[in-house]
Amino acid sequence: MPKLQQKPVPLGSLHKGAKAEIVGLDETGIKTTLRKGELERRLIEMGLVEGTEVEILHEGFPKRDPIAVRAGTSTVALRRAEADAILVHKLSEPQR
Amino acid sequence: MKKKRLSPKVALVGNPNCGKTALFNALTGSRQKVANYAGVTVERKEGLFISPAGTKVKLVDLPGTYSLRARSPDEEVTRDVVLGKMEDEAVPDAIICVADATNLRLNLRLVLEMKKLGLPIILALNMMDEAEKLGMAVDASELSAALGVPVVPTIAIRKEGIQGLVNQIDRTLPIAEVEGLIPHHGACEWTEPSSHDLRDYHREVEAILAQAISKPARPHTATHRLDKLLLHPAAGLFILFALLFFVFQAVFSWAAWPMDLIDGGIGLLTEAINSLLPDGALKSLIVDGVIAGVGSVVIFLPQILVLFLFIQLLEDSGYMARAAFLLDKMMGGVGLHGRAFIPLLSSFACAVPGIMAARTIENRADRIATIMIAPLMTCSARLPVYTLIIAAFVPNQNVMGGWIGLPGLVMFGLYAAGILSALLVALLLKQTILKGAREPLLMELPAYRLPRPRNVALGLYDRAKAFLTRAGTTIFALMIIVWFLGTFPAAPLDATEPAINYSIAGMIGHALEPILAPIGFNWQIAMALVPGMAAREVAVGVLGTIYALSDSGDALQSSLASVLAQSWSLPTALSLLAWFVFAPQCMATLGVVKRELNSWLWPFIMFFFLTTLAYVASFATFRAATAFFGG
C-alpha cells in the first residue's frame, strides 16, 4: 500500500476503517494518572509498537470514543486521549 | 533450597484470555482449592495432579498478566510469586507459560521476560485447534529452538496435548531438582524492563515468529462480524441493555423455586428442632439465632449463583471486555472506568463479591470510587424488605394502560433511585476527594469463544463454596451476637411488651428512637435496624418478632404486611423504603471494604456518607409524603 503522507499523525485522530503504521510513541502532553514513561511501556506491552500495522475497527459512543484497534493478531481497546501518544503514518483512508 | 519439598510446585503464568484457567482445570480436575494470599485478597488457586512418573505436583494458577511489571494487585501477586517475594509462598520449581497460539506476539514477549527469572520454563502452546482452524501453521520444534524452552502444543478444553504437557513436566522437574540445590535455580536476571528493553523483546519476538510460523493465522472473521453488531454504537448498546434486563429477570425468576425449596427446608428444620428440644435458651439460640439468621442469608445462594452463572458466561465468551468498551465513555461522564461495570453488576446480588471484583481496576482512586458506590446498587438482601413494605402499602393495581403493575413499578423505581444516586455520588467523589484523570483503558478485546460447561461449573462451585463458608463462619458468629443482644436481659415475668423490648437490642432501639423520629421511624423500626447491621434482610425477621408473630418466611411476610399496613402510616413506610435504598448498615460490606483497601478510613467514610444519604432521603420522603398524604 502506498503511504498517503509522510507527516506522522496521532492515532487518536483517525476514523473507523483507517489503516496506518506506527512510527513512534510520544507520551509528552498526554494527561494521564500514570507515572512518566509508564504509558509508553504499557502501549508497547499491548503490541502498539513501532512498525506495527494498525486498523481502527470500531468506535465507541458517544464522541466515537474509545476505539478498538487491530494490531497484528490482537485487538486492543483504548481511549482516543491515550491513542494520541501513538504517532502513525496513514496507509489508507476509510472508505465512505 | 534448604527445605525438603515432597511435592514440587509448578506455576501457571500467561496473558489474560490465553485459556490458562481451562488448562488448570484440565490438569487438576476438581482437585483444587481456592484461598487468599496472606495479607492480600487476591484469590490463590491451587490444584494437585499426579504426573505419569508418579510425582505429586502442586499446580498454582497465577493471575493473568501481560508483563511482570505489576500494575494491579492481581498482577503484583504473579510477580511476587515467581520472584519468590511472596510471604509463605516458596519459589515455584518450574513455570508453565501458557500462550494462545492464535495470538502469539504478546504472549511470547511475556515468555522472554519470564526466561530472565532463571527458573525452568515450559511453554504450553494453547488453543492449537483454533490456530489450525484459522489456517495457521506453527512449528513447535522451531519455536522451541528459537526460544530455548520446551514447547508443547495443547488444547486445554479437550484435554488433548495434556498428556504431552505432563510428560514434559516430568522431564523438566528432575532437572529443576538438581538445579534446586543452588538457591534460586539459575540466577534471577529479571529487572524491571525499560521501554527500550520492551522494544528489544518485541524485535526478538518478531524474529522468532518469522522463524516458527510458516503460515500466519487468518483474522478472526467471525469475531469481527459479531463485533460489527455487538460494538455498534446504537445496536450494541441496545443489546447490552437488553442482556442486562434479561440477567435481572433471570436472577429473580430462575432463583425463585430453589429459594422456596431452601425456605421450606429451613422451616422443616425449625419444626424438627422445636419438637425435639425443650423450650429454653439453647433452643432459642439454635432456632431464632442460628437457623433463622444463617438461613436468611443462605436463602440468597440461588440468586448469587444465577448472577455468577451469567457473569462467568459473559467473561468466558469474551463479551465482558466489550461491555466495558461500550460503557467506558458514558461511565467516564461521572468519572468511572469502563471496568467498573463488572463490580457494579455483581453488586446487585451482593456488594461483597462486587467490591472484590473491583480489583481489576488498577488505579486506586478509580477503584475506591467504584467500591464506594457499590453498596448503592440494590443488593438482593434488600429485596425481602422491599417486598414486605410494597405488599403492605402499594395497592396491587395496573397502571400505564394495564401493562405494568404498580408494585413492579415501585420496585423498579427503588432500583433506579439506587443507580442514579450512585452516579451522583461517583461524580461528587471524582470532583472532590478522588480527583484526577481516569487511568487508561488499554484492554485487549479477545476473540469470542464458546464457554465450556466444565469450566463454568467449576467456577460456580468455587463461588458457592466461598459463599457458604462465609455464611458458616462470619455470618454465623454475627447471628449469635445479634441473638444475644435480642434475648438478654430476659423480659420480667409480668412483661406486657414483647420480650425483645427489654433486651439490649430493645434498649438500643429506644435510645435511637429520638434520632429517628424526625424521619418517621417508631421504636420498632429503630430496633429492627440494629440486627439489620449484620444482614439487612434480618430486619424483616426482627419486625416479625417485635410485632409478636412467630411465623417465618412467606407466611410471616404476608401476615406481617397486613399488621404493618394498620400500624404504620404511609409516610413512615415510604420513608423506610427510602432508607433502604441507601441502607448503610451492613457489616459484611464494611468489613470487605476494610480488607480490600486495607484501611479503616474508607469504611468509616462509607458508613458516614451512606447514613447521611439515607437520613436525608428518608427525611425528605417523610416530610413530602406527610404534606401530600397527611400524617
Instruction: Mark yes or no for CB contact B66/A74 under 8 Å.
Output: no
Is the pLDDT higher at B184 or at B525? B525
Tell me whether residue B169 is in a domain. Answer: yes
**String of b and e for B578-602 (b: at least 16 CB within 10 Å)?**
bbbbbbbbbbbbbebbbbbbeeeeb
Q: What angle do CA B73, B341, B411 make, to 5 degrees?
A: 135
Would you call A60 and B104 a contact, using CB atoms and an 8 Å cutoff?
no
Look at B442 and A46 and tell me if their CB atoms are within 8 Å: yes
Distances (CA, A) of B526 to A7, B521, B542: 70, 7, 11
Report pLDDT for B391. 83
**Mean of the pLDDT values across residues B578-582?**
91
- Euclidean distance between CA atoms B187 and B145, whole angstroms: 22
Report pLDDT for B37: 65
Q: What is the pLDDT of residue B38?
A: 59
- Taking alpha carbons only, the member of B331, B12, B343 closest to residue B154 is B12
pLDDT of residue B177: 57
Does some domain include residue B76?
yes
- Contact assignment for A77 to B224 by CB distance below 8 Å: no
**Lowest-confidence segment of B190-199, B484-493, B572-581 by average pLDDT:** B484-493
A93 touches B: beta carbon within 8 Å: no
Alpha-carbon torsion (B3, B9, B15, B17), positive or negative: negative
- Sign of torsion over alpha carbons B131, B136, B140, B146: negative
Assigned fold of A9-92: SH3 type barrels. (2.30.30)
- Give the start-to-end residue ranges of the domains of chain A: 9-92
* Neighbour-count burial of B269, counting CB atoms closer than 10 A to its CB (0-12 exposed, 13-18 middle, 19+ buried): middle
Which of A87-96, B42-51, B442-451, B547-556 shows the lowest mean pLDDT across its residues?
A: B547-556
Higher local confidence (pLDDT), B103 or B549:
B103
- Note whether B20 and B98 are within 8 A (CB): yes
The alpha-carbon gap from A79 to the nearest alpha carbon of chain B, in Å, equals 6
Predicted local confidence at residue B549, as pLDDT: 44
B321 contact residues in A (CB cutoff 8 A): 77
Per-residue model confidence as pLDDT tens digits over B419-432? 999 999 999 998 88
Residue contact B440–A79, C-beta within 8 A: yes
A83 touches chain B (CB under 8 A): no
Give the distance from residue B231's alpha carbon to the nearest chain A alpha carbon, in angstroms.
Answer: 7
pLDDT higher than threshold 50 for residue B464: yes
B443 with A40: Cβ contact below 8 A: no
Give the pLDDT confidence score for residue B116 in this predicted structure.
92
What pLDDT does A5 receive?
A: 55
Tell me how far CA of residue B610 lies from CA of B373, B594, B607, B617, B618, in angstroms. Answer: 9, 16, 5, 10, 12
Beta bridge partners of B14: B98
Pick from A31, A33, A57 the residue to mutate for testing the B interface (most B CBs within 10 Å).
A33
Our CA-based measurement puts residue A22 at a distance from the nearest CA of chain B, in whole angstroms, of: 13
C-alpha cell at B467: 459463599
A6 to chain B nearest CA, in Å?
Answer: 23
A9: enclosing H helix or E strand: strand A9-10
CB contacts of A15 in chain B (<8 Å) are: none
Residue B559, pLDDT > 70, answer no
The mean pLDDT of chain A is 90
Peptide bond into B440 cis (omega under 30): no
Q: Which residues of A touch B438 (CB under 8 A)?
A: 33
| Percent of residues, chain B, with pLDDT higher than 70 | 89
Closest CB from A60, A64, A78 relative to B326: A60
Residue B253 lies in a domain: no
- Measure the CA–CA gap between B544 and B539, rounded to whole angstroms: 9
Interface contact flag, B325 A79, Cβ < 8 Å: no
Tell if the CB–CB gap between B66 and A66 is shorter than 8 Å: no
Report the share of chain B in percent with pLDDT over 90: 35
Is there a domain that residue B73 lies in?
yes
Question: B91 in a domain, yes or no?
Answer: yes
Kindly state the DSSP code that residue B290 receives in the 8-state scheme: I
CB contact set of B218 (below 8 Å; sequence gap of 6+): B134, B135, B136
| Residue at B369 is within a domain | no
Q: Does B400 touch chain A (CB under 8 A)?
A: no
Higher pLDDT, B403 or B450: B450
> pLDDT tens across B333-385, in order?
888 888 898 889 888 877 887 888 887 787 888 889 999 999 999 887 787 78
Q: Which residues span the domain enclosing B516?
A: 475-629
Q: Which residues of B touch A78 (CB under 8 A)?
A: 440-443
Q: What is the pLDDT of residue B175?
A: 64
Question: Do B330 and A61 make contact, defined as CB atoms within 8 angstroms?
Answer: yes
Residue B308 corresponds to which cell in the numbers above? 455468577
User: Does B195 contact A37 at a Cβ distance shorter than 8 Å?
Assistant: yes
Residue B239 has pLDDT above 50, yes or no: yes
List the CATH number of the domain containing B200. 3.40.50.300
Q: For residue B218, how many other CB atoms are within 10 A of its CB?
A: 12
The amino acid occupying position B553 is: G
Q: What is the mean pLDDT of residues B520-543?
A: 77
| B276 in any annotated domain | no
The mean pLDDT value of chain B amounts to 84
Among candidates A33, A44, A78 on the partner chain, residue whose Cβ is nearest the Cβ of B198: A44
CA-to-CA distance for A40 and B276, rounded, in angstroms?
70
Does the pLDDT value for residue B573 go beyond 90?
Answer: yes
**A15 in contact with chain B, both atoms CB, cutoff 8 A:** no
Residue B179: pLDDT over 90: no
Of A33, A40, A58, the CB nearest to B231: A58
Q: Which residues contact A76 (CB under 8 A, 6 or more apart)?
A: A46, A47, A48, A68, A69, B442, B443, B444, B445
8 Å CB contact of B219 and A70: yes
Cβ atoms of B11 and B121 within 8 Å: the answer is no
Three-state SS letters, B221-282: HHHHHHHHHHCCCCHHHHHHHHHHHHHHHHHHHCCHHHHHHHHHHHHHHHHHHHHHCCCCHH
DSSP code at position A35: P
Across the A:B interface, residue pairs with CB atoms under 8 Å apart total: 123
Residues of A in Cβ contact (< 8 Å) with B130: none
Total domains in the fold of chain B: 2
The shortest C-alpha distance from A11 to chain B (Å) reads 14
Q: How far away is chain B from the Cα of A45, in angstroms, using its nearest Cα?
A: 7
**pLDDT grade for B36, boundaries at 50, 70 and 90:** low
d(CA B129, CA B254): 35
Final residue before a domain boundary, out of B180, B215, B250: B215
pLDDT at B373: 94
**Is B444 within 8 Å of chain A by CB?**
yes
Q: Going by DSSP bridges, is the β-strand pair A9-10/A86-92 parallel, antiparallel, or unpaired?
A: antiparallel
- With respect to residue B434, please indicate whether it lies within any of the assigned structural domains: no
Position with higher pLDDT, B217 vs B224: B224
Q: Is the pLDDT of residue B1 over 50?
A: no
- pLDDT tens digit string along B244-265? 888 877 877 888 889 889 888 9
* Residue with cell string 463479551: B319
CA atoms within 13 A on the CB side of A85: 25
**pLDDT tens per residue, range B466-489:** 778 877 777 777 778 877 887 788
Interface test with A, best of B194, B329, B337 (most A CBs within 10 A): B329
Residues 186-225 of B with CB under 8 A from A: 193-195, 198-199, 202, 206, 216-217, 219, 223-224
Contact B442, A81 (CB under 8 A): no
Collapsed DSSP state (helix, strand, coil) of residue A20: strand
Of B294, B335, B354, B339, nearest to B593 by C-alpha is B354
Q: With contacts defined as CB-CB under 8 Å, which chain A residues touch B198? A: 41, 44-45, 49
| Alpha helical stretches, state H, B383-445 | 383-393, 406-431
Angle B426-B429-B432 from CA coordinates, rounded to 5°: 150
User: How far is B607 from chain A, CA to nearest CA, in Å?
Assistant: 28
Tell me, what's the pLDDT at B181? 46
